[in-house]
């Protein structure tokens, strides 16, 4: 797939995701929005993010053979809800204390700390409601009892990636330990803090497309490699972890190639995933 085709794929899929957010998280009149909770959720969610994680859900499902129907979009959007909550909480004074996110003042700067915490909490819980709803809708449409099993596995994958052995663990490590100095330590942190949610995105997409065990395993390998490579790329731009910068540059290439190799058992339907991986090194 050429860059131009990837751009058009991204535009179409992003528009579908954004339309879903706008429809599902509609403006609530102030009188019906105590504490401006929904306004705060909309503020961060509708800000211009790249939507990478839901795009990866859809790209994984497409590689396995499932088109982006409404319930799949809902499941993909759920992963973005988890990501968005993590950004709001990460920006809080008790964590990174950031002023700007997605090109606008951070959530707590506009709505206050308490509301920002609640907006994050509400986005996180809504994610699991949407995944459950996606399962119920697919079950109703197909009558296939295995649909329920797949959605339970997707819920478990997302919870694991987001929680105490994934992203939250990485955040706890980041706050509780001195900055990593070796490449190995940098990558362990990246795998937890960033990679775990990317891996979950690939798992959700492939599980909901009814991937076989080998396909699912390949997607997990892709997600893990992509996640750490993504963090290296981000760190190199931000000039973080300067002592391991040269190693990180090499690892970015190696991990991207590992991600591409993981897709060897997929046909042309994995082109969006391949193009997304190549982008990490091509910019």
Sites of contact with ligand GRG (CB under 6 A): 49-50, 52, 83, 86-87, 89-90, 95, 102, 167-168, 171, 193-194, 234
Question: How far apart are CB 236 and ligand GRG at their closest, in Å?
Answer: 12
Question: How far apart are CB 44 and ligand GRG at their closest, in Å?
Answer: 9
C-beta of 83 vs 150, nearer to ligand GRG: 83
> Residue 50: helix, strand or coil by DSSP?
coil
Question: How far apart are CB 234 and ligand GRG at their closest, in Å?
Answer: 4
Question: Phi then psi for 143, rounded to 5 degrees?
Answer: 70, 10
C-beta of 87 vs 126, nearer to ligand GRG: 87
Tell me how far apart the alpha carbons of residues 259 and 248 are, in angstroms, rounded to a whole number.
16
Q: Which residue is nearest to ligand GRG (CB)?
A: 49
C-beta of 37 vs 168, nearer to ligand GRG: 168
Q: For 91-112, where are the alpha helices, taking DSSP H only?
A: 107-111
Cβ neighbors of 39 (< 8 A, separation 6 or more) are 27, 28, 30, 33, 111
The Cα angle at residue 54 between residues 268 and 166, in degrees rounded to 5: 110
Residue 198, CA distances (Å) to 10, 153, 204 in order: 17, 16, 10
C-beta of 117 vs 219, nearer to ligand GRG: 117
Question: How far apart are CB 138 and ligand GRG at their closest, in Å?
Answer: 26
Question: How far apart are CB 264 and ligand GRG at their closest, in Å?
Answer: 26
């Amino acid at each position: 797939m050429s860059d131009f085709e990837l751009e058009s794929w991204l535009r179409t899929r992003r528009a579908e995701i954004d339309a879903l957010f706008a429809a599902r998280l509609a403006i609530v009149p102030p009188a019906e929005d105590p504490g401006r909770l929904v306004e705060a959720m909309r503020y961060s969610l509708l800000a211009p993010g790249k939507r990478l994680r839901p795009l990866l859900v859809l790209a994984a499902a497409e590689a396995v053979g499932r088109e982006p129907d409404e319930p799949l979009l809902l499941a993909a959007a759920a992963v973005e809800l988890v990501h968005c909550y993590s950004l709001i909480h990460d920006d809080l004074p008790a964590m990174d204390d950031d002023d700007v996110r997605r090109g606008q003042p951070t959530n707590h700067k506009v709505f206050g700390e308490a509301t920002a915490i609640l907006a994050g909490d509400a986005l996180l819980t809504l994610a699991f409601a949407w995944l459950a709803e996606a399962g119920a809708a697919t079950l109703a449409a197909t009558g296939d009892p295995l649909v329920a099993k797949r959605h339970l596995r997707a819920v478990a994958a997302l919870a694991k990636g987001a929680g105490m052995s994934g992203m939250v663990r990485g955040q706890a490590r980041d706050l509780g330990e001195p900055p990593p100095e070796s490449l190995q330590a940098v990558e362990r942190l990246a795998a937890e803090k960033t990679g775990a949610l990317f891996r979950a995105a690939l798992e959700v997409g492939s599980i909901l497309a009814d991937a076989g065990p080998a396909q699912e395993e390949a997607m997990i390998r892709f997600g893990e490699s992509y996640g750490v490579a993504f963090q290296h790329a981000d760190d190199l731009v931000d000039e973080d972890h300067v002592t391991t910068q040269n190693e990180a540059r090499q690892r970015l290439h190696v991990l991207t190639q590992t991600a591409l190799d993981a897709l060897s058992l997929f046909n042309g339907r994995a082109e969006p995933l391949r193009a997304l991986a190549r982008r990490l090194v091509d910019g």
